[in-house]
Amino acid sequence: MLPFGAALALVSVAGCAIRVAHQLLVMRNLHLGLDSTWYFLEAGVIRHHGAYADPNVFTAHRAATAAWPPLYPALLAIVQVVFGDAARTAQLAGAVMGGVTVALTGFLARRVADDVTALFAAALAAVSPLLVAVDGSLMSETLFVPLALATALAVSHAVRRPGLGMWVLAGAFTGLATLTRVDGVLLFLCVVAPAAVFGRERIEMRLRQVAVAGAVVVVVVVPWVARNAARVDSATIATVSSGTAIGGANCHDAYYGRALGSWSFACIDTQLRTTLDETRWSARVRDDGARYAVHHLGRVPVVAAARVARVSGLWPPGDQVDRESLETRSRTWQWIVVVTSPFVVVAGIAGLVVLGRRGRSIAPLAGLVATSALVALLGYGNTRFRAAAEPALLIGIAALLRAWARALRPPARPGRPTPGLPR
Report if residue 411 sits inside a domain: no
Euclidean distance between CA atoms 360 and 363, whole angstroms: 9
**What is the reported pLDDT for 62?**
67
Tell me, what's the pLDDT at 56?
A: 78
Per the domain annotation, does 107 fall within a domain? yes
Instruction: Decide if 316 is inside a domain.
Output: yes
Q: In this predicted structure, what is the pLDDT of residue 329? A: 95
**Predicted pLDDT of residue 339:** 95
Full domain range(s) for residue 201 = 4-406
In a domain, 417, yes or no: no
Q: Is residue 201 part of a domain?
A: yes
CA 294 from chain center: how many Å?
Answer: 28
d(CA 338, CA 345): 11
Q: Residues 15-49, buried b or exposed e (16+ Cβ, 10 A)?
A: bbebbbebbeebbeebebbebbebbbbbbbbbbee
Please give the pLDDT value at position 349: 97
pLDDT at 423: 40
Q: What pLDDT score was predicted for residue 98?
A: 98
Asked whether residue 145 is assigned to any structural domain, the reply reads yes
User: Looking at the 3D structure of the chain, how many domains does it have?
Assistant: 1
372 pLDDT more than 70: yes
Average pLDDT over residues 166-189: 98
- The predicted-structure confidence for 284-343, as pLDDT tens digits, reads as follows 999 999 999 999 999 999 999 999 999 999 999 999 999 999 999 999 999 999 999 999
Residue 31 lies in a domain: yes
Of 58 and 70, the structure prediction assigns the larger pLDDT to 70
Structural domain contains residue 258: yes
pLDDT of residue 418 exceeding 80, the answer is no
* Mean pLDDT on 175-202: 94
**For 53, phi and psi rounded to 5 degrees?**
-130, 160
CA distance 65 to 38: 12
As a whole number of Å, the CA-based R_g of the chain is 23
Q: DSSP secondary structure string, 75-91?
A: HHHHHHHHH-S-HHHHH
414 has a pLDDT exceeding 90: no
